[in-house]
Amino acid sequence: MASNKRYLIIILITFGILLIPLIAMRLTREVDWDLLDFIVAGILLLGTGFVVDFVIRKVPKINYKIIIITALLILLFLIWAELAVGIFGTPFSGN
């Protein structure tokens, strides 16, 4: 039962984060996401949330938890930035 509550919280946080660009699209023309953008962002956010939850539950030492979660968040932000503006110049860049 507790794991279902954690999963629901992760899903609700992801939904809340995805509401930001959805609302911004209504207020300005600067934000122009399509369905694929929301799907990819949702997968990235949900995947990261579930992996962070797994690390919190399974890694015994707090120092290791902090290092792993920090690395996961940096990876998420780097992937997000690459998809958005292409900081590495891969074929997946948003340009």
pLDDT of residue 84: 86
21-70 pLDDT tens trace: 999 999 999 999 999 999 999 999 999 999 999 999 999 999 999 999 99
**Is the pTM for the entire model greater than 0.85?**
yes
Residue 19 has pLDDT above 80, yes or no: yes
Q: How buried is residue 21: exposed, middle or buried, by Cβ count under 10 Å (0-12/13-18/19+)?
A: middle
Question: What does the domain layout of the chain look like in residue ranges?
Answer: 2-85
Give 88 or 35, the one with higher predicted confidence.
35
Sign of CA dihedral 67, 61, 59, 7: negative
The C-alpha atoms of residue 44 and residue 91 are separated, in whole angstroms, by: 18
